[in-house]
Amino acid sequence: MNKPAILALEDGSVFHGTAIGADGQTSGEVVFNTAMTGYQEILTDPSYTRQIVTLTYPHIGNTGINAEDVESGAIAAAGLVIRDLPLLASSFRSEQTLSDYLASQNVLGIADIDTRRLTRILRDKGSQNGAILAGPDAEGEGAETRALEAARAFPGIKDMDLAKVVSCAEPYEWHEGEWALGKGYADAAQEERPYHVVAYDYGAKRNILRMLASRGCRLSVVPAQTSAEDVLAMNPDGIFLSNGPGDPEPCDYAIRAIQAFLETDIPIFGICLGHQLLALASGARTVKMGHGHHGANHPVQDLDTGHVMITSQNHGFAADEATLPGTLRATHRSLFDGTLQGIERTDRPAFSFQGHPEASPGPRDVAPLFDRFIEMMKVKR
C-alpha cells in the first residue's frame, strides 16, 4: 500500500496519492459518482467503458468483493479514484479485497486524494480527460509531465462508438432471474416465460436482463450490430434496447435497426443508451452533458402523474427535449437540471427511460417500467 500514484486532468490539475490495484498507466474521461454503495456494480457496468470513476463517498472497499455483485464479466471502468481504502474488508459475502480485485483484472486505482476538490473541478468545469499513473510509472521527476501528457492525449468520449466494442460477439439465451438473500439468483428457465424478447446488447447490465427474465421474458440477447431483418426473423413479442457506453450519434447501425422496428407494431423499451438511440431513430438529437449524471440519488418526475422518484443514473449524453418531433412526447424529467429522462412514441408502442430502473445499485422506484413493457406485449398478443 506504499506505491505512489498520480492522477492528472487535462486542465492541468494534478493529484498525488497511493496506488491501489495494478501498476502502469490508464487514461479516460474522469467522472464522479455520488452513490454511497455498489462500487462493485459500478466498476463492472459496461457504460463506464473508457471512463475513470471517482466515488464521492469517502470509504470504498469496506465490504470487499464477491462473485455475485457484478454487472458484466469484467471491470469495465478504465480506472478508480477514491478517498480512503479501509485496511479491513468486512462482510459475510466478501471473497476478495477491492485492491486485489483491481490488480487481478489489471485495472489501476488511486486512493488518498482529496476527492472533494476533484469533484468540485468536475462539477464546475465538466468531465475532464484524465490519466492515472501507478507504481514505478508514477515515480521520478518527469512523472507529472507524463501524466499530463497522457491525460491530454485522450481523445474524449464524444464521437466514440463504444457499443459495438463492448457488445457480445454472438447471440445467446439468458435464463438468470433476480437475486434473493440466501438463495442467490433464480433460475428463470424453470418459470413460465410467455414473452419472447430480443435484447440488443449495447453494453447491457445483467440486472436488467434478470428483471426481464423474472417477469416472464424468454430473452434472446443479440450483438449491437445485428440487423433488423435478423431480429424480425426471430418473431419477438418485444424488443429491448440496452444501456451502454459512448456517444449515441455514431451508432448508425443501431439507429437504422430501430427505425425499421418502428415501422412495425412490436413493443420497444429502451434504457440509457437505448433511450438516446430511440430518440435519434425518431428524429430527435442528443447532446453531450457537462458532467453527466452518475449516482443513485437523482430525483426524476413523472410528467403524467407528478410523482417524484429517486433513481440510479449513469450517462454523459442526453436526448435534447427541444428537438423532439411530433411523434415523441416527454414523459419524465430530471429535477436536478431539467434534462429529459423519458420519452414515448405517440404513434407506436415504444418508450424509453434515461436512468436505470433496474438499480443495482440504487433505489427501485422506477422498476414498474418493466411491468409496463410486459403489459404492452400482453396487449399486443
Provide the pLDDT for residue 361: 80
Of the residues 175, 291, 293, 356, only one is catalytic, namely 356
User: Contact at 8 Å (CB) between 330 and 275?
Assistant: no
State in Å, rounded, how far the first CA of the chain is from the last one: 59
pLDDT per residue over 320-345, tens digit each? 999 999 999 999 999 999 999 999 99
Using a 10 angstrom Cβ sphere, with 0-12 exposed, 13-18 middle and 19 or more buried, the burial of residue 358 is buried
The answer to whether 196 is a known catalytic residue is no
Provide the pLDDT for residue 338: 98
Provide the pLDDT for residue 356: 95
The answer to whether 356 is a known catalytic residue is yes
Provide the pLDDT for residue 2: 86
Provide the pLDDT for residue 1: 58
Of the residues 272, 275, 293, 298, only one is catalytic, namely 272
Residues with Cβ within 8 Å of 134's Cβ and at least 6 positions away in sequence, in order, are 3, 4, 5, 6, 19, 21, 22, 23, 24, 25, 108, 109, 110
Q: C-alpha grid cell for residue 309?
A: 422518484
Percent of the chain as helix, strand, coil, to the nearest 5? 25, 35, 40
Q: Sign of the C-alpha dihedral, residues 234, 236, 242, 246?
A: positive
pLDDT along the chain (381 residues), means of 10: 92 98 98 96 98 97 96 97 94 96 98 98 97 97 97 98 98 95 90 95 97 96 98 98 98 98 98 98 98 96 98 97 98 98 98 94 92 97 89
The answer to whether 249 is a known catalytic residue is no
